[in-house]
Structure 1
Amino acid sequence: MKAIEHIRLKVEGAIAIITIDHPPVNALSMQTMAELHEVLTEIEQKKEVKVVLLRGNEKLFVAGADLYELLKTETNEEAYKMSKLGHELMDRIENFPIPVIALVEGACLGGGLELAMACHIRIAKDNAIFGLPEITLGIIPGAGGTQRLPKLIESSKAIEMILTGRRISAGDAKNLGLVLDVYSEESFEQEAFSLANNIADKGKVAITSALKAIQAGLHHSEQEGFEVEANLFGLCCTTNDKQEGISAFLNKRKAKFEDR
């Protein structure tokens, strides 16, 4: 592994901020994906972190895959390997043990949208643009776009976006349910950290358990989801945080969770 060049990590208390900074368009190259893996591993080792914010630089989120890498990819085997590397990263983010929130500014296209869709929550600045334009390049989305978009928004709209490569605004993305909310330039940063802090105020055992139960229900049968939920509910009920949370509620005070 080369030294990390395109990813910056900053930890502020219980919040980890991952910034993708790969000028000029934050292309999601194979190196960038490998660096994201490395940073995620580092975050997993930080017990104090409860929320991850994933963002691009100050101009855009991610404008797509590295087209120069794609241009050099000429065999079925090479392309298949590239696609599977993308799947591996997106699956890791989707199943990350703590919530990952995508902060989308500017272009969120192709691999950028696939990356954002793998995150648990997406919020957007009002200048954000979303799309899967791969079809205009003679290819299709290869890092999960054809699978996740029809699950996140109405399937016919997803099919239309994929088959035409049409881009949509932040407002349209909110109306379709692709993003949680849209904020202005002035309030975007504050709202992002407000959401992250609201989650980080809770106990880590409950946060990770809730996320795991949600993912079980989304990706397995309803009965399997119920079973995972019951087991994790049982785990949470053995924690000090459960005692503190209920005691604080009954005594009308703010809970002070210790993540145990």
Structure 2
Amino acid sequence: MGISTARPEPGVAIVTMDFPPVNALPVHGWHALARAVAEAGTDPGVRCVVLAAAGRGFNAGVDLKEIQHSPGHRALLGANQGCAEAFSAVYDCPVPVVAAVHGFCLGGGVGLAGTADAVVASEDAVFGLPELDRGALGAATHLARLVPQHLMRTLYFTSRTVTARELYGHGSVWRVVPRPGLAEAARALAREIAAKDGVLLRLAKAALNGIDPVDVRRAYRYEQGFTYEAAVAGVAERHRAAFLAGGGRRREEERS
């Protein structure tokens, strides 16, 4: 349980999230994930990182219970900082990152997939930002890297999800495979990338980040300011409480 790193074959590192029951990461989990991705990317023997998850889904965002039950805004600020650090670690990783997504990819999960360099998904994968239903804002920056602008806005305002097949149609998912074949499909892509020259891969990653039309780090931190504003206004706590009281976690598990 937690964050683990494996190096199953030359040039490839697999960073796995495992926070039962739904991979909703606590504050320390986001920071641990950031460290693991950064360490894997700076290893001279690694030329591609696979970001994967154990359990029923890829990532359900932040641990709302931790935020709800912590005094003041300490946990909220910690989650904001942890998410920003983890997303930046994936985006700034010196080598390409492949996200292997199964089940639900919600909230912070979209942040991770949206900052990855490639996404391989299982047929049961769904992506979305239920932030408005949970009293939060954020990660529209990353959803906009997966779907066109107007679809992003519609998904954001409605809290609806989009399937891996639909994202494949938009060109943001590389392959959609049966769930049992996800790990191998992600490793196959990572293996193909890792076969390239390590120096050139690092130069290519830096070059592609340099020509990105949107500064994802600044854009996401801007969004987080509104999340904090919602918290100070009291609206965030009301929605979090209603979500948790209504068995939100149970609905996520049933959905998976």
TM over 0.5: yes
For 1:96, give the aligned amino acid. C
For 1:29, the equivalent position in structure 2 comes to 26
For 1:118, the equivalent position in structure 2 comes to 115
- The higher radius of gyration belongs to 1
Q: 1:169 to 1:103 in 2, by over 3 A?
A: same
The residue correspondences of 1:73-112 to structure 2 (distance < 5 A) are 75=72, 79-80=76-77, 82-112=79-109
> How much does 1:85 deviate?
3.0
Q: Distance in 1 between matches of 2:114 and 2:124?
A: 18
The residue correspondences of 1:78-227 to structure 2 (distance < 5 A) are 79-80=76-77, 82-141=79-138, 145-219=139-213
Give aligned-pair identity as a percent: 29
User: What RMSD over aligned residues (CA atoms) do the two structures have, in Å?
Assistant: 2.1
1:15-74, CA deviations, whole angstroms, 9 ceiling, x for partnerless residues? 001110111111122111121123234324521111100111043211221011221367
Which blocks of at least 5 consecutive residues in structure 1 are unaligned? 222-260
Pick 1 or 2: higher relative contact order, CA cutoff 8 A, min separation 6. 2
Of 40-49 and 58-67, deviating more is 40-49
2:40 aligns with one of 39, 43, 47:
43
Aligned residues: 214
Question: Would the aligned equivalents of 1:65 and 1:112 in 2 still touch at CA under 8 Å?
Answer: no
Question: Would the aligned equivalents of 1:16 and 1:53 in 2 still touch at CA under 8 Å?
Answer: yes
TM-score for both structures, normalised by structure 2: 0.76
Q: Distance in 2 between matches of 1:99 and 1:151?
A: 16
Say which SS state the counterpart of residue 212 (structure 2) adopts. Answer: helix
For 2:236, the equivalent position in structure 1 comes to none
Say which SS state the counterpart of residue 11 (structure 1) adopts. Answer: strand
For 2:6, the equivalent position in structure 1 comes to 10
TM-score for both structures, normalised by structure 1: 0.75
Say which SS state the counterpart of residue 102 (structure 1) adopts. Answer: strand
> How much does 1:220 deviate?
7.2
> How much does 1:174 deviate?
1.5
Q: Distance in 1 between matches of 2:142 and 2:77?
A: 18
For 1:167, give the aligned amino acid. T
